[in-house]
Amino acid sequence: MKILITGGAGFIGSAVVRQAVALGHHVVNLDALTYAANLANVASVGNSPLYQFEQADIRDRAALNRIFSTHKPDAVMHLAAESHVDRSIDGPGDFIDTNITGTFNMLEAARAHWQAAGRPDTFRFHHISTDEVFGSLGPTGQFDETTPYDPRSPYSASKAASDHLVRAWHETYGLPVVLTNCSNNYGPFHFPEKLIPVVILNALHGRPIPVYGKGENVRDWLYVEDHATALLIALEKGVPGRSYAIGGENERRNIDLVRTICELLDEMRPAGAPHDRLISFVIDRPGHDARYAIDPSRMREELGWRPSVTVEEGLRRTVRWYLDNESWWRPLLDRQGVGQRLGTAP
């Protein structure tokens, strides 16, 4: 199958690109190469005859038309997005433009391509979204595919809007779409502004490890390679018009997650131990959702997927990877905004 993957130079998209090529799919990676991108993430497949790269912006409809007519993909996996909640608080405009208007452009370019090809039933537009569109849970309960939308940050609101557009293009035009809403990912190649790499890298440098509020927010953590596997299964087996909630079955309070990473570093880099002395509680993110948790029954029962990596094992692999790959993360520390506290605007 020839798959057009948007955002394939980012964290999750690059994992999908690597796995899709390994499975023998032809991949066209469409990415604007924003601050969050890194072509080193896909270096392992860069010379494969199955891989092509197109630098393009999903806000540029003409560029999308050209790419669809050049490559004639059998399927689209749409991951390109502005993805950092803290940046969405400081500058929501980019999130509206890329996540909403960019998704609209992708849907229109895909629809024109699909109609020109005779509306094949086998075509797929797979939209990759987040569990954050469902809002915030109390101490109990889980999100599933029937949970009403209740986004609370500019990021999650822009993703919710894009989900609605994708569903509308299915109902109105018959475009064969599949949606997935996933919980927090972590693992190798995670850009160093997100919680887990921030903890690892600040601890390694002996700098304060910022924990928002009291660290009591709960997230359901999924190892990124498990997410990429789930996405490729949903692409192939998902029913058009249906959505699938993907989760790690690994709920953790942020503070417990941070302490676990510190313990792993104490073991693997004992020179700085105990690393948890660096934990520093900082002012909370405005509108910080208290808890996310996913009920992944539909993925398990209908598509036969479940996570293969526990959070203990995944964190161990992730810490090891950052220790072994300084040449990957070191240059990223100079990118705009990295290492600064963002998203505190009232």
Ligand X SMILES: NC(=O)c1ccc[n+]([C@@H]2O[C@H](COP(=O)([O-])OP(=O)(O)OC[C@H]3O[C@@H](n4cnc5c(N)ncnc54)[C@H](O)[C@@H]3O)[C@@H](O)[C@H]2O)c1
- Residues marked active site are found at 131-132, 155
Q: Is position 98 an interface residue for ligand X (rule: CB under 6 A)? A: yes
Q: Is position 147 an interface residue for ligand X (rule: CB under 6 A)? A: no
Residue from 29, 130, 142, 147 that binds ligand X (CB under 6 A)?
A: 130
Q: Which residue's beta carbon is nearest to the bound ligand X? A: 10
Tell me which stretch binds ligand X (CB under 6 A): 27-35, 103-111, 170-178, 319-327: 27-35
Q: Is position 144 an interface residue for ligand X (rule: CB under 6 A)? A: no
Residue tagged 């998704």 (tokens): 103
Q: Is position 159 an interface residue for ligand X (rule: CB under 6 A)? A: yes
* 236: Cβ contacts below 8 Å, ≥ 6 apart: none
Q: Is position 307 an interface residue for ligand X (rule: CB under 6 A)? A: no
Residue from 12, 20, 161, 165 that binds ligand X (CB under 6 A)?
A: 12
Q: How far apart are alpha carbons 269 and 44 in whole angstroms?
A: 28
Q: Is position 165 an interface residue for ligand X (rule: CB under 6 A)? A: no
CA torsion through residues 276, 282, 285, 291, sign? positive
Q: Whose Cβ is closer to ligand X: residue 181's or residue 278's? A: 181
Q: How far apart are alpha carbons 122 and 131 in whole angstroms?
A: 27
How are the residues of the chain apportioned to helix, strand and coil, as percentages rounded to the nearest 5? 45, 15, 35
Site string for ligand X, 50-89 (x = CB under 6 A): -------xxx-------------------xxxxx------
Distance in Å, CB of 130 to ligand X, minimum: 4
**How many of the other CB atoms lie within 10 Å of CB of 93?**
10
Q: What are the start-end ranges of the H helices in 81-215?
A: 85-90, 92-95, 102-116, 154-173, 195-205
Tell me which stretch binds ligand X (CB under 6 A): 128-136, 205-213, 233-241, 248-256: 128-136
Distance in Å, CB of 11 to ligand X, minimum: 4
Q: Is position 34 an interface residue for ligand X (rule: CB under 6 A)? A: yes
Strand partners, 115: none
Q: How far apart are alpha carbons 128 and 182 in whole angstroms?
A: 8
Burial class, 90, CB count within 10 angstroms (exposed 0-12 / middle 13-18 / buried 19+): middle
Best CA proximity match to 265, nearest among 195, 316, 332? 316
Q: Is position 33 an interface residue for ligand X (rule: CB under 6 A)? A: yes
Q: Whose Cβ is closer to ligand X: residue 185's or residue 318's? A: 185
Q: Which residues bind ligand X (CB under 6 A)?
A: 6-7, 9-13, 31-34, 36-37, 57-59, 79-83, 98, 102, 128-130, 159, 182, 184-185, 191
